[in-house]
Structure 1
């Protein structure tokens, strides 16, 4: 019993001791409370470099706002910054103006210096229709705000946000201020400057405001120059430049993207309308029927709003006066946007822009390109190897201006080449319309441009093989029938491929097969057909010499005699010793070989 009483006393004493210790700790905490972080207002007030800012905050009542709980980022102009702006005292600035200027230095979120990137951010200042004013932040070389202010001291933390001291006052930006601040608009600023102060003053002021400006990027202007075959804006006369620029301006409207509707027509300062499309992102349609995509929307200024676009808009008056190059015509027509992208990827813009080019182009439309990509297993144009794409495009181009009335059933040469640099052939058939290589039909002919003529076609003209020409030319229909006869090797695959290529093929015309006393079959036909093919050689007419012997795929030699008799370009002696075989057409050039048409079927030596 005594033991129990003793322990109980010990337990009570311990509890009293702990209670006293706890009270002592509480007293210590009350005597030394943790330091509270100052608010933005308190931090600015305590900083001698920010006394003018502090006075401005007090005058507008924003000192109370920035003293409350919240998350703010303040770009704080130093006294030196205010003085550089001619402000030594805020007494003579109206409270309303001063408030909006100050709010243009404030974001409603905490943004540390490491969070900054090249972007637009909305400040707490407001412009037309009470829309938040945009701030352009550029971090490419060093940090700048609207192109006029740079941070001097960063990441001054406060209980309700962060302060970055800046070296200039950020007044409410105008349309011109925003265009000047963003280097992506430097060509637009240059164009405006070309016209003197008329338009820079207009877009910097309030007369006629608010403005909606569809602002072409530098890339858009560069594409226009390429289209016109111009090297710089200096090559565009002032009247044209003024008409184009005013076609991008809408006066009396602050048309943000949310207020635009599909099919809406807007009258520009130039006088003509543009049409808005919103079904697949916001697009602006001009008189060329090729829409411009809005790539950055709702850049809000104090006197209007900017939407960045990826194409220079062209009014009808300018289009009517223009005489575009081939590349320019393609760039101006929406149905050829895939062709334009292909030309740009293949670096052929300069070729199709040359003023003295004198070219004929067979132009596939977007649907034709989509089919071409699908048929060849490409998900997009980007997957097509550039060297292949370049040759495919050049296979649509003929040197010289050829109008549809000048076309006959014939072979011509395109600007595409094989690996030896020989120009590929193009088989043109005019028996029923105009068909090219048996795969592509002219749908619209004789579009004359400044440096050539364009014929629209409904299919991409792929790079031809030996089989392409044999199939396309009806004069070889008997040969194709023999090559694809039952029991024959897969000649189509062989002569379409690259194994054992290049091939030289002496191709008998239909009349040559008709002259045979009996049509060979089976193994005999196989030997006959193989006797017309020379593997491993692209022997063009200039490579043939008198007495030259070449070995056929069948194994027998073919002997060349120059010159040929009568109308023949050359005479051949086949394996059976027949000497009266005339070469009547030469140099039908494919990617994997060359065809020479002959007027008789070559017969191998049947005694072997």
Structure 2
């Protein structure tokens, strides 16, 4: 009797579900629907008879009837009818079982993802790439409703049908097995890439057909985003893809494809060289995140990986990569190279604000540019307590940027330890100095190191650096140049005034500007021997203070060409200059040679001397 009652209750409940389904336009959204599995709900809804039949034929009913939670994008009968018509199948029975199985699995995602859980981006379906076990990707776009792979939309009224083992979203089209073209067309961030593929499909080449098919597959496609293409067009001074010659466009597109290989992110290795469909190699780098080094030497960052399709895989990149064949035609300027590098976008903005883009676009001049990355600029702004470039006065920003530029082309092999002149100026006339050290890589002014060298351009070369090279003070050069280590130790000795702070005073504020006669380490060594002292610490406080003051002229930027013979007042007292002989005589009659001149800072000038100037002894 109990058994009979149980079966009667189940039968009644099933009838009730069907009745409620029919009453609610075939959408079982009543509170009891969550007591049923996904399979139960589908079987009870007349709008899913084709889907149920397909699941039965593929042997997948059990996959949606267990305890594992699933999200099902469920095509309606009308969706299946359209799918059969589009693919030339008279009925479901004519669809090969393996194709039907993978198509159905491409509608299923592990876990319960309600519409409020979905975000624009990629999900993995239960369909797989061949027999690899790599799940195919689904692109969910929430920009207008919920759209999957650009072909199927969730019917809003029939979304979020909760089951005991997951959730059902009714969709208006079958989500076919994706190709790499599907992944490109589904994601609006690749819309310009799609335009490029269409524009390049001529002269016997059909990229859409090629990348939708199996011949030559699997393909690995490095897909530039819309922003990447915008950067390329800006760098080339073009308004649209139509202005790029078709043969050049094809060369560039071919460089983004690896044929006969499904290279996943886990397969990438540092320093690997991979031959592209175009014929030239690209270099894989993992330093600072996965990326590609092309013939420009500029890294393209891989910003989304493993978008898997049935005939290959897509990785999104933030830069259009260029082979040497294309560079020989394009021959970008320094400004152009910067515009093509997403890591230099803040530099490009800064150049625009300072009106320097045209300068670095000039093909009739040659420059060497030390180019700070976005991270470097953000750190620079943070150090100043500023929120954006807009907070930096334009005149200051202009000088800071010019302080990263040298005239002429200086490859890394041309650089040597010593001083060069940047295009920044003191008082609008005298170029600021830059101290380059090649002792360990290439380091500038002791604050910025070259991270990626020798990116050649039509009008020079770019070296990417890891920090903004701020406008130097006289202290900057003292600390950057190891020749002055003992001088720095003397200036910063605990018993001394805050010489470093004083000598960092900005130009225009007393006692700046300064003229500093800077003794070398050897000069200090000779002084200690002359005085019979064992070390700098043996020099008494007052004598050291007076000695250091004798090396500084306050309120004047006295360059070599401005030196005149006679007595000159320093912060300590008078010294005697012999301009013709380039010597200094101190109060003790000791003669000091000026051995290097005009190391120009933003708040003064430094001249290097070979002996320490002493106060009266």
TM-score normalised by length of structure 2: 0.63
> Cα gap change, 1:383/1:459 in structure 2, threshold over 3 Å: closer, same or farther?
closer
1:251-400 equivalence runs, <5 A: 251-259=259-267, 265-276=273-284, 282-327=290-335, 341=343, 344-345=346-347, 347-348=349-350, 351=356, 354-356=360-362, 358=365, 360-361=367-368, 363=370, 383-385=382-384, 387=392, 391-398=399-406
Q: CA deviation at 1:43?
A: 1.9
Q: Is the contact made by 2:344 and 2:371 (CA closer than 8 Å) also made in structure 1?
A: no
> Cα gap change, 1:165/1:421 in structure 2, threshold over 3 Å: closer, same or farther?
farther
Q: Is the contact made by 2:368 and 2:408 (CA closer than 8 Å) also made in structure 1?
A: no
> Cα gap change, 1:285/1:258 in structure 2, threshold over 3 Å: closer, same or farther?
same
Q: CA deviation at 1:55?
A: 3.7
Structure 2 unaligned segments of length 5 or more: list them. 15-34, 437-441, 520-539, 560-568, 581-596, 609-617
d(CA) in 2 for partners of 1:455, 1:68: 59
Q: Is the contact made by 2:405 and 2:422 (CA closer than 8 Å) also made in structure 1?
A: yes
> Cα gap change, 1:93/1:134 in structure 2, threshold over 3 Å: closer, same or farther?
farther
Cα deviation code 1:438-483 (max 9, x no counterpart): 99999x999974234669999986522245679999xxx9xx99x9
Q: CA deviation at 1:214?
A: 2.1
* Equivalent position of 2:77 in the other structure: 79
* Equivalent position of 1:116 in the other structure: 118
Cα deviation code 1:159-195 (max 9, x no counterpart): 3322111122211111111011112322322221221
* Equivalent position of 1:42 in the other structure: 40
1:427-438 equivalence runs, <5 A: none
Cα deviation code 1:322-379 (max 9, x no counterpart): 52322456799xxxx9xx846735734654574227353253899xx99xx9xxxx99
The alignment yields a C-alpha RMSD, in angstroms, of: 6.1
* Equivalent position of 1:571 in the other structure: none
Cα deviation code 1:373-397 (max 9, x no counterpart): 9xxxx99678554658875442132
TM-score normalised by length of structure 1: 0.64
Q: CA deviation at 1:208?
A: 2.3
Q: Is the contact made by 2:407 and 2:423 (CA closer than 8 Å) also made in structure 1?
A: yes
d(CA) in 2 for partners of 1:102, 1:455: 52
289-298 vs 222-231, which deviates more?
222-231
d(CA) in 2 for partners of 1:277, 1:509: 44
492-501 vs 99-108, which deviates more?
492-501
Structure 1 unaligned segments of length 5 or more: list them. 1-24, 511-521, 542-550, 557-565, 568-585, 598-608
Aligned-partner SS, 2:349: coil
Cα deviation code 1:220-242 (max 9, x no counterpart): 43444455555554453322221
> Cα gap change, 1:278/1:135 in structure 2, threshold over 3 Å: closer, same or farther?
same
1:59-70 equivalence runs, <5 A: 59-63=57-61, 65-70=63-68
d(CA) in 1 for partners of 2:63, 2:445: 76
Q: CA deviation at 1:199?
A: 0.7
* Equivalent position of 1:10 in the other structure: none
Q: CA deviation at 1:71?
A: 2.3
d(CA) in 2 for partners of 1:393, 1:312: 26
Task: Give the one of 141, 149, 152 matched to 2:152.
Answer: 149
2:167 pairs with 1:162: yes
Q: Is the contact made by 2:122 and 2:139 (CA closer than 8 Å) also made in structure 1?
A: yes
Aligned-partner SS, 1:129: coil
Q: Is the contact made by 2:290 and 2:301 (CA closer than 8 Å) also made in structure 1?
A: yes
Q: CA deviation at 1:269?
A: 1.6
Task: Give the one of 65, 75, 100 matched to 1:98.
Answer: 100
Q: Is the contact made by 1:295 and 1:307 (CA closer than 8 Å) also made in structure 2?
A: yes
* Equivalent position of 1:51 in the other structure: 49
Q: CA deviation at 1:45?
A: 3.2
Q: Is the contact made by 2:262 and 2:313 (CA closer than 8 Å) also made in structure 1?
A: yes
Q: Is the contact made by 1:74 and 1:163 (CA closer than 8 Å) also made in structure 2?
A: yes
Cα deviation code 1:110-148 (max 9, x no counterpart): 222222112322212233334322111123453211122
Q: Is the contact made by 1:504 and 1:533 (CA closer than 8 Å) also made in structure 2?
A: no
Aligned-partner SS, 1:115: coil
d(CA) in 2 for partners of 1:493, 1:210: 63
d(CA) in 1 for partners of 2:453, 2:68: 68
Equivalences, count: 521
